Chains A and B, each alone.
Chain A
């Protein structure tokens, strides 16, 4: 073990069928530090944490803890707690119907009886020492999420943990609540607890952390002391793009210039939903392709969902071609000529057991009304037309969509929305998890649709794709719109420095 280390993971390997989730990852946590674990989707950070907490077994590698001879065996969350590793998850794992004190002590006291007096007294003491504004006898469900989060931490601390893992604890907290949580984290740090902090918020990382470990594609990128790693470098390491590598990708989209007297197809002002984004303004012109970019969790999807009315709308106005319209639910948006291809294809997109044909006509059927079904011949004609247009590889239009490959499923959903003949098409991660050929097909299709006069918003985690297709990029950071880039500014280094923000 290195000096001062409280936890060491060495050469951890973990595979799932078809995926090598962790490939020889090392991780070291020292006493009294807050250590950020960063990485984009699929980087393997949640797998690493689950291995550490005993949710998954590891295929290879060793875990060492301070004060314990030899590698420790962790097979369940209970084992992890025994060696002093406690985890507080993003979703609260306490019982809302019990009192605060019960949540602190249930499942970890000995004996048969329940000694309420002692339990309440001990709890009050812990709450006071950690400065948590709650009372022992209060029902947990009446506390705010932040307080519940802190009580979960208090429970972990009281169990004498040496390693505290906080898995995105701040994602549902507001600013003041985050401040309270940070204060608690600083207290614990000064008491010598090692804290692993997983978050998507860059500002928070630079506010509280001492060290950063970056992962990408199941591999360790590196461990850095926070002051040696400026934001831009962090972003470039997470995305896997070298800043010095300036081989710029030329945008194939023409920069759009609005003609005199023309109004934007869609114009949103102070739009905000309950999904936790800050109010934003947005507009898109006829025949324009724009994109939303930012790190995972920066609020890209939440913005377009707010445009489509997919989350509960809490404020702001939308104008379509200069006329004010009311969009509070997806059907309103569809009626106004907006189509939205959701990020979660399996959950929000396909209806697995229906045929390719039925999946394609679904959205238009909803608009037309269920009392006027398409005739079989009509539906077949439409389905065949789109199968040909998008070159969907399927045995026939009758094949259940779930037996198609991911890329072809995506094309069917795209066909569904194209068939509604939208004026404004929103594509949220249309290229995720599909093969390279189909990715290119979809990008070409987007450009073709735009040249025919459709307005398209294109979101992708792959910066190259965005740069290639979009003529304007909206940059998001920590759920705020922080910039808009077009023309000459559309290059990797500029985008990354805008995403990173802060100390630039």
Chain B
């Protein structure tokens, strides 16, 4: 009996050993997310059984999904970008001012958002890749700059009163099959916001880029070992530049999605969102040391963080610090599991 058991665990370890680091961490993330969600369904019941609850996690985290994709990209390449939260705030403020006070056009506001994101990505990427400055320092400066600029553009929080924009903001996309029946017996459709669609498209595009383009594999190579990547004939500087540029572009998209979700401008918007994005990436199996990570993992990382928030809220622990502490515990748990399994694998 005991023999049997050790045999099966041996087989399990064999399978573990055949996975690449990236796939191993991805598997852990997905398993933990489902365990957590199922536990929430069992112990909290009610709300978690409805499809809309799950979709609401997506609705309120679509920005984070997009930003975390960008963060995963730079982290896989071996860098970091902590300016994305600030850039998001700057974009909402600029777009809000443009639409509300100047009565602008929605299409142009989208271009403004993308331009701001790309500008940050290009400047930071240039400094990191071509002048070889520490990405942490550069993007820290970028964060300060973005926050400062936000206040300069407009110092007070305000809501956007722009008809076409509000129409877009309130657009709901019905998800068939996930609706529920309320007490009176009416069927209520489940919905997602436009941002969720954008986020899912971003996840799919990023996944394909990482998996099936040479550029995508170069990001892994550079993150794995810069010197080796250079000797293997990869243009390391350009690759690092592109990682920051794409991250900036995603910050632009994420910033606009955020703006679309909140419909207002404020200097305190998206505070510490870059930290949530980093946390999501790490929970999703991206390693800060570079070279290891997966966009699908990042997606589930964001969902895990969102689920924790939902559980804490539905348990009636409204205070913000409960979420913080639970997330901290979860982050630690993930890192410990990751390092234990990686260590075990190295030994085997």
Kindly list 10 other residue pairs between chains A and B, CB separation below 8 angstroms, not including A81-B233, A94-B232, A107-B218: A95-B229, A95-B291, A96-B224, A97-B21, A106-B217, A106-B232, A108-B232, A112-B215, A114-B211, A141-B21
* A100-114 interface bits toward B, Cβ cutoff 8 Å, 1 = contact, 0 = none: 001100111101111
Kindly report which residue of chain A lies nearest to residue B229, judged by CB atoms: A95
Q: Using Cβ atoms and an 8 Å threshold, which residues of chain B touch A98? A: 217, 220-221, 224
Main secondary structure of the interface of A (DSSP, over half): loop
Contact B213 A113 (CB under 8 A): yes
The range of chain B's interface size is 20 to 34
Contact A114 B228 (CB under 8 A): no
Known: A98-B217, A106-B221, A113-B212. A78 touches B233 (CB 8 A): yes
Q: Using Cβ atoms and an 8 Å threshold, which residues of chain B touch A116? A: 212
Between A and B, 14 residue pairs with Cβ closer than 8 Å are A89-B231, A92-B228, A93-B227, A95-B224, A96-B291, A97-B20, A97-B223, A97-B225, A99-B20, A106-B218, A107-B221, A107-B233, A108-B232, A139-B20
Kindly report which residue of chain A lies nearest to residue B345, judged by CB atoms: A142
Q: How far is the CA of A99 from the CA of B17 in the complex (A)?
A: 13
Q: What is the distance, in angstroms, from A141's C-beta to the closest C-beta of chain B?
A: 8
Q: Using Cβ atoms and an 8 Å threshold, which residues of chain B touch A108? A: 232-233
Known: A113-B213, A114-B213. A97 touches B218 (CB 8 A): no
Contact B232 A114 (CB under 8 A): no
Q: Using Cβ atoms and an 8 Å threshold, which residues of chain B touch A95? A: 220-221, 224-225, 228-229, 232, 291
**A264 within 8 A of partner (CB):** no
Kindly report which residue of chain A lies nearest to residue B222, judged by CB atoms: A95
Q: How many interface residues does A have (CB within 8 Å)?
A: 27
Contact A94 B214 (CB under 8 A): no
**Which chain A residues (62-113) contact chain B, with CB distance < 8 Å?**
77-78, 81, 89, 92-99, 102-103, 106-109, 111-113
* A127-140 interface bits toward B, Cβ cutoff 8 Å, 1 = contact, 0 = none: 00000000000110
Q: What is the distance, in angstroms, from A420's C-beta to the closest C-beta of chain B?
A: 38
Q: How far is the CA of A79 from the CA of B5 in the complex (A)?
A: 57
Q: How far is the CA of A98 from the CA of B22 in the complex (A)?
A: 10
Q: How far is the CA of A139 from the CA of B20 in the complex (A)?
A: 6
* B1-32 interface bits toward A, Cβ cutoff 8 Å, 1 = contact, 0 = none: 00000000000000001101110000000000
Q: How far is the CA of A141 from the CA of B220 in the complex (A)?
A: 14
* B125-158 interface bits toward A, Cβ cutoff 8 Å, 1 = contact, 0 = none: 0000000000000000000000000000000000
Q: What is the distance, in angstroms, from A137's C-beta to the closest C-beta of chain B?
A: 9
Contact B224 A114 (CB under 8 A): no
Q: How far is the CA of A93 from the CA of B227 in the complex (A)?
A: 7
Kindly report which residue of chain A lies nearest to residue B234, judged by CB atoms: A107
Other-chain residue from B227, B234, B291 in contact with A97 (beta carbon distance below 8 A): B291
Q: How far is the CA of A232 from the CA of B178 in the complex (A)?
A: 85
**B216 within 8 A of partner (CB):** yes
Q: How far is the CA of A78 from the CA of B231 in the complex (A)?
A: 8
Other-chain residue from B17, B20, B217 in contact with A114 (beta carbon distance below 8 A): B217
Contact B231 A93 (CB under 8 A): yes
Q: What is the distance, in angstroms, from B233's C-beta to the closest C-beta of chain A?
A: 3
**Which of A78, A95, A103, A113 has the most chain B CB atoms inside 10 A of its CB?**
A95
Q: How far is the CA of A97 from the CA of B217 in the complex (A)?
A: 11
Q: How far is the CA of A109 from the CA of B217 in the complex (A)?
A: 12
Kindly report which residue of chain A lies nearest to residue B289, judged by CB atoms: A97
Q: How far is the CA of A461 from the CA of B297 in the complex (A)?
A: 55
Q: How far is the CA of A94 from the CA of B229 in the complex (A)?
A: 7
Kindly report which residue of chain B lies nearest to residue A155, judged by CB atoms: B232
Q: Using Cβ atoms and an 8 Å threshold, which residues of chain A touch B234? A: 106-107
Kindly report which residue of chain A lies nearest to residue B232, judged by CB atoms: A107
**Which chain A residues (443-491) contact chain B, with CB distance < 8 Å?**
none
**B292 within 8 A of partner (CB):** yes
Q: Using Cβ atoms and an 8 Å threshold, which residues of chain A touch B217? A: 98, 102, 106, 114
Give chain A's interface residues, CB within 8 Å of chain B.
Answer: 77-78, 81, 89, 92-99, 102-103, 106-109, 111-114, 116, 138-139, 141-142
Q: What 4 pairs between A and B have smallest CB-CB spacing?
A: A107-B233, A97-B224, A97-B291, A95-B224
Q: Using Cβ atoms and an 8 Å threshold, which residues of chain A touch B211? A: 114
Q: How far is the CA of A102 from the CA of B22 in the complex (A)?
A: 15
Q: What is the distance, in angstroms, from B59's C-beta to the closest C-beta of chain A?
A: 34
Contact A96 B225 (CB under 8 A): yes
**Which of B18, B211, B231 has the most chain A CB atoms inside 10 A of its CB?**
B231
Contact B213 A112 (CB under 8 A): yes
Q: How far is the CA of A113 from the CA of B213 in the complex (A)?
A: 4
Q: How far is the CA of A72 from the CA of B158 in the complex (A)?
A: 68
Q: Using Cβ atoms and an 8 Å threshold, which residues of chain B touch A81? A: 233
Contact B214 A113 (CB under 8 A): yes
Q: How far is the CA of A138 from the CA of B18 in the complex (A)?
A: 7
Contact A94 B228 (CB under 8 A): yes
Q: Using Cβ atoms and an 8 Å threshold, which residues of chain A touch B215? A: 112
Kindly report which residue of chain A lies nearest to residue B293, judged by CB atoms: A97
**Which of A78, A99, A106, A111 has the most chain B CB atoms inside 10 A of its CB?**
A106
**Which chain B residues (194-245) contact chain A, with CB distance < 8 Å?**
211-218, 220-221, 223-225, 227-229, 231-234
Q: How far is the CA of A333 from the CA of B212 in the complex (A)?
A: 56
Q: What is the distance, in angstroms, from A170's C-beta to the closest C-beta of chain B?
A: 20
Contact A97 B220 (CB under 8 A): yes
Q: Using Cβ atoms and an 8 Å threshold, which residues of chain B touch A139? A: 20-21
Q: How far is the CA of A326 from the CA of B224 in the complex (A)?
A: 39
Q: Using Cβ atoms and an 8 Å threshold, which residues of chain B touch A114? A: 211-214, 216-217
Q: How far is the CA of A102 from the CA of B223 in the complex (A)?
A: 14
**Which chain B residues (277-304) contact chain A, with CB distance < 8 Å?**
291-292
Kindly report which residue of chain A lies nearest to residue B210, judged by CB atoms: A114
Q: Using Cβ atoms and an 8 Å threshold, which residues of chain B touch A97? A: 20-22, 220, 223-225, 291-292
Kindly report which residue of chain B lies nearest to residue A103, judged by CB atoms: B232
Q: How far is the CA of A60 from the CA of B228 in the complex (A)?
A: 30
Known: A112-B214, A114-B212, A139-B21. A77 touches B231 (CB 8 A): yes
Q: What is the distance, in angstroms, from B286's C-beta to the closest C-beta of chain A?
A: 12
Q: How far is the CA of A78 from the CA of B215 in the complex (A)?
A: 19
Known: A95-B291, A99-B20. A106 touches B214 (CB 8 A): yes
Q: What is the distance, in angstroms, from B93's C-beta to the closest C-beta of chain A?
A: 37
Q: Using Cβ atoms and an 8 Å threshold, which residues of chain A touch B216? A: 114
Q: What is the distance, in angstroms, from A314's C-beta to the closest C-beta of chain B?
A: 17
Known: A98-B221, A139-B20, A139-B21. A93 touches B214 (CB 8 A): no
Q: What is the distance, in angstroms, from A26's C-beta to the closest C-beta of chain B?
A: 28
Q: Using Cβ atoms and an 8 Å threshold, which residues of chain A touch B227? A: 93
Q: Using Cβ atoms and an 8 Å threshold, which residues of chain A touch B212? A: 113-114, 116
Q: Using Cβ atoms and an 8 Å threshold, which residues of chain A touch B20? A: 97, 99, 139
Q: Using Cβ atoms and an 8 Å threshold, which residues of chain B touch A113? A: 212-214
Q: How far is the CA of A137 from the CA of B224 in the complex (A)?
A: 17
Q: How far is the CA of A106 from the CA of B221 in the complex (A)?
A: 8
Q: What is the distance, in angstroms, from A340's C-beta to the closest C-beta of chain B?
A: 32
Q: How far is the CA of A141 from the CA of B291 in the complex (A)?
A: 12
Q: Using Cβ atoms and an 8 Å threshold, which residues of chain A touch B223? A: 97
**Which of A93, A98, A99, A103 has the most chain B CB atoms inside 10 A of its CB?**
A98
Kindly report which residue of chain B lies nearest to residue A116, judged by CB atoms: B212
Q: How far is the CA of A92 from the CA of B227 in the complex (A)?
A: 10
Q: How far is the CA of A109 from the CA of B213 in the complex (A)?
A: 12
